[in-house]
Amino acid sequence: MPKVAQLTQLLTTILPTESSVAHSQNLLLFGCGNGTLAAYLANLVTSGQVWSTDSNASSINLTLKTSQANDLHNLHVFPDLADPESYLRDPPANPFDTAIIILPKGRKVSRRWLLQAYQCLCDTGILYLAGANDEGIQAVAKDASELFGQAVVLGYKKGTRLYRIIKQSTISNLPDWTQQPGIASGTWNEFHIEVRNRDFTIHTLPGVFSFDQLDEGTRLLLECLQIPTGSRILDMGCGCGIIGMLAVHLGAGHVDLADDHLLSVASTLENLRLNGISSASVYASDLYSGLPDMKYDMVLSNPPFHIGKEVNYQIAQTLISNGYQKLNPGGSLLIVANRFIRYERLMHQIFHNVKILQESGKFHVLSSQKV
């Protein structure tokens, strides 16, 4: 049974027995996923309101559709772009009395959510923390105990566990990690990238790819990048936005940058501002689904290839096949990838041509042209 199903069973078995959940007036859910849990909670908390957020645009859209399809008037959905209190369109009149965090990927992201939950919860408010053992739930539970008070295990389900933590009003000194850049409210992690004789100031938030330095694969792509003057470019899966920003400096007329990860979208918007780049637009988009109806001269990407621990070719298949449709005749798709991942087979199947522009011991840059 997949861990998502195990975790769902654990939550739906225990949460209904918790009076603090069933009688919550304002419940805040971090990690709404496809909306199933958010909808379940909205039906469980019949006299209260459920506020749900996630760091992926696709999760936000799915949860909104689930809410609308089930006519859930007490379910409110908002994107994780900053502290929840700042982005709630209609914040609750009373503080949140309950929060639930579904363990995200990455300890820094988890710590960011823990701090946001701490700031939103009233004194003696209750936090529920759920996730898988092999994804770091026990380490994050220790972080939660440092911030809130002692975490108590409520239940186990085949490698997953659920904790309850009561917010203590007696904690005077917050843990040092709450002040780390990107975790503390209103802060960014900052570093600099020098590439092609240009220097970029970069701000990132936890969960953004290459959070604190330029990765080797992207650098390889940037070093061989040739941009036709005045061209329309798409940076797909933009992360911090460095590929699209360099494309502007190399002569692009306009660059669209897209990512499903909302903290990457926020980071890219910040970096365009920091580096004085105006000929660019940023989209929260699950691959091409949220983009405008237009064609591009080039599509550039350093695509993710893992789902969990497995290499996933479905994302690449969609990226390449739909990329072909988004290109003008003569336009090119450029991808950088680990050499052991055989994207060139997919590219050749769709474009009927592919060449290696540059390679290192670990990565290669692949290019296909729409003819």
| Whether the Cβ atoms of residue 170 and residue 177 lie closer than 8 Å to each other | no
Instruction: Point out the domain boundary residue: 154, 179, 204.
Output: 179
Whether residue 277 sits in one domain with residue 157? no
Check if the beta carbon of residue 163 is closer than 8 Å to that of residue 155.
no
pLDDT of 81 above 80: no
**Percentage of the chain lying above the pLDDT 90 cut:** 84
Same domain, 319 and 352: yes
Domain tally, the chain? 2
Is residue 344 a contact partner of residue 366, using CB atoms and an 8 Å limit? yes
Tell me which DSSP letter residue 135 carries: G
More confident residue, 5 or 365: 365
**Are 163 and 204 members of one domain?**
no
**Same domain? 67 vs 150:** yes
Q: Are residues 238 and 359 in the same domain?
A: yes
Q: How far is CA 145 from the centre of its chain?
A: 25
Angle at alpha carbon of residue 316, lines to 336 and 353, rounded to 5°: 70
Fill in the DSSP letter of residue 67: H
Mean pLDDT value across the chain: 92
Q: What is the pLDDT of residue 2?
A: 54
For residue 265, how many other CB atoms are within 10 A of its CB?
Answer: 26
User: Are residues 204 and 163 both part of a single domain?
Assistant: no
Per cent of the chain over pLDDT 70 is: 94
Is pLDDT larger for residue 308 or for residue 243? 243
Asked if 265 contacts 259 with a C-beta cutoff of 8 angstroms, the reply is yes
Q: Cα(94)–Cα(107) distance, rounded to whole angstroms?
A: 30
220 is a domain residue: yes
| Domain that residue 66 falls in | 3-179
Read off the CATH number of the domain in which 155 is found.
3.40.50.150
In a domain, 184, yes or no: no
Q: 250 and 225 in contact (C-beta within 8 Å)? A: yes
Check if the beta carbon of residue 192 is closer than 8 Å to that of residue 214. Answer: no
Q: Same structural domain for residues 240 and 323?
A: yes
